[in-house]
Amino acid sequence: MKSYDKIPYWNQGLFDQDCIAFDKIDGSNMRFEWGRKRGWYKFGTRSIMIDRSSEHLGKGIEIFLDKYGDNLDRVFREKYKRVESFVVFAEFVGENSFAGQHEESDKKDVILFDVSQYKRGIISPYEFVENFGHLHIPKIIYNGKYTHEFIDSIKNNDFNLKEGVICKGMTKTKKDGNIIWMSKVKSLQWLEEVRKKFGNKALLEELNNDVELFNSLS
């Protein structure tokens, strides 16, 4: 089952491209596979396969199926009649979740944030909003150009977000057609909290081991 790729941090090469910025949910990545004949039949975290009995995030399967199972099945059958299977991605989260850690007593939720078609990959953010925006998806924080000013506004937490945003856009190329790109931007406040709770090593790992970016925050 396809896993969700790591998303790079802010990227100067994307400046002035159109994008949609979604609220970055601070939780744990989950994935769910649907087949036209089998329905929902495979489940996992970002790195391992799980089932309903799994201690780690197993409860997220039931939440997801209760909340999205029938609704997504209907969308797939009505709008994607030629696609045989999908992997959908969602975030498992509680009110006090932070950096993938969850409070046992919190009420948990699962929030859909991306959809991948078999052999075609992740759908565009515009298609995602059009076909799945009636469901519970992350809030759209911004729809416009990917600019220095917008990135700075997220880093400074001008939108009062818990973690930051995921920017998604589409670049047209002659060779490969439309290419979906993503970039995450997190508030300096959230990154500093990671440093305080878990140390510099954890912060560097959070920054995808980008030493230059890490040093710029020091």
CATH 3.30.470.30 corresponds to the domain 26-137: yes
Q: What residue segments make up the domains of the chain, in order of their start?
A: 7-24+139-218, 26-137
Q: Are 91 and 27 in contact (CB under 8 A)?
A: yes
Task: Determine what percent of the chain is predicted with pLDDT higher than 70.
Answer: 98
Q: What pLDDT score was predicted for residue 215? A: 81
DSSP codes joined into one string, 89-148: EEEEEETT-BTTB--TTSPEEEEEEEEEETTTEEPPHHHHHHHHTTS--PPEEEEEE--H
Mean pLDDT of the chain: 94
| CA pair distance 161, 167, nearest whole angstrom | 14
pLDDT in tens, 45-94: 999 999 999 987 999 999 999 999 999 999 999 999 999 999 999 999 99
Q: What pLDDT score was predicted for residue 218? A: 60
Q: Is pTM beyond 0.95 here?
A: no
Q: How confident is the model at residue 13 (pLDDT cuts 50, 70, 90)?
A: confident
